[in-house]
Amino acid sequence: MADSALVDHSPHHPTKA
C-alpha cells in the first residue's frame, strides 16, 4: 500500500503523525 499522502487524513492509521 503506497498510501503515504492519501492516507494522511486517516485518524486510525496516521502515517506522518
pLDDT tens-digit readout, 1-17: 556 656 666 566 666 55
pLDDT for res 10: 59
Q: Which residues contact 1 (CB under 8 A, 6 or more apart)?
A: 7
pTM reported for the whole predicted model: 0.04
pLDDT for res 1: 54
